[in-house]
Chains A and B, each alone.
Chain A
Amino acid sequence: MLHVAINLALYIALRRRITWLTSEQGILLYQALSSAVLIVVGFAGVSMDPSVRGMAGLVAATALHGIYSLSFLELWSLAEGSYSLSILEHIEQATRQDQAVDVHGLESLGGSKKEQRLGSLERLGLIRGTADQVTLTHRGRRVARVLASVARSAGVVRTE
């Protein structure tokens, strides 16, 4: 709990000075580094006095940090403005200004998000694009297989 509190306090103090910490890469690296420090320090402590309870304590601390980091990343991605939240924001502004919802504008926003995501997937090495075709890489196929299993387990049917 103390480590999580220090993580949050440090982030609040540093994000005004290091704007990179507000980017996706920055946040991922910050949380990964924090987890690594916790695991290394915890492991060092457990190795000095090995016990089942000590290992359980390390696992508990790591899992708690995992809950915090995942929640942190989810809140950050909300702040980035998902497509659904962008739609909500547009409808709220249109209602406040007594204007009609600009469905065409929303479609254009969706189109540009799609282009951005294709670029990101290519940078992550999950897809490969030639002039004519876009295909999954080997890594992309593995990731897609896992995601399809998750979708099946939850009964999610993608209609878009």
Chain B
Amino acid sequence: MWLASALFALVAAVIGQVVVARLQFGGSFVTRFLAVGGGVGLVMAGSLVRGYGWGVEFWAGVFVYAFACELYVFLVTLVDSSISVSLLLLLRQRSSSRAEIDRLSSSRAMVASRLEKLCVNGLLNCAGSSYALTPRGLRLLVLFRALRVFFHRRLLPAIGRS
């Protein structure tokens, strides 16, 4: 029952996100899914508490739902931004020569697309052809460099404007 609730809630969250996207309320996929998924999750948690109290079945349902949501968000962001996924989807349409791959997924288009996404996501200030990090973008960079030290023990270059 708790497992079925968690899986049903995931399906409802995915469908809810699709509906919200079609209604064009705005926001990124992650924002939309967090809002819809959070709401669905609360409803599911409420029904589990009524059925099982705060017992282990409640936590099993909540953790399964949370893991499934995280996996879904991970897959979507992977599909949205991964170069490897871009190549797989391109080759799904037809086999290609290396030259065709370079033409269809040109580096220029990749850079332009990434810069646009970074601007839309509030990580860059974009004015014509000049770019600068927003405070949010700087915070992300600080996190990225701290993670690099944790995993690879590389030194941190200095952050900040001169």
Contact = CB atoms under 8 A, between A and B. Distances in A.
A93 B152 CA distance: 21
A156 B107 CA distance: 20
Contacts of A64: 63, 67
Contacts of A158: 79-80, 85-86, 89
Given A110-B107, A158-B85, 10 more contacts: A59-B64, A87-B115, A88-B123, A98-B162, A107-B110, A110-B110, A126-B88, A153-B14, A154-B17, A158-B89
Interface residues of B, number: 78
A interface majority secondary structure? helix
Given A144-B91, A154-B21, A154-B29, A114 B105 contact: yes
Interface string A61-91: 0011011001100111011011111011101
Interface residues of A, number: 72
Contacts of B34: none
Contacts of A144: 88-89, 91-92
Interface in B83-102: 83-89, 91-92, 95-98, 101-102
Contacts, number: 213
B103 interface: no
Contact of A155 (B18, B75, B85): B18
Interface of A: 15-16, 22, 52-53, 56-57, 59-60, 63-64, 66-67, 70-71, 74-76, 78-79, 81-85, 87-89, 91-93, 95-98, 101, 103, 106-108, 110-111, 113-114, 117-118, 120-121, 126-127, 129, 132-136, 140-141, 143-145, 147-148, 150-151, 153-156, 158-160
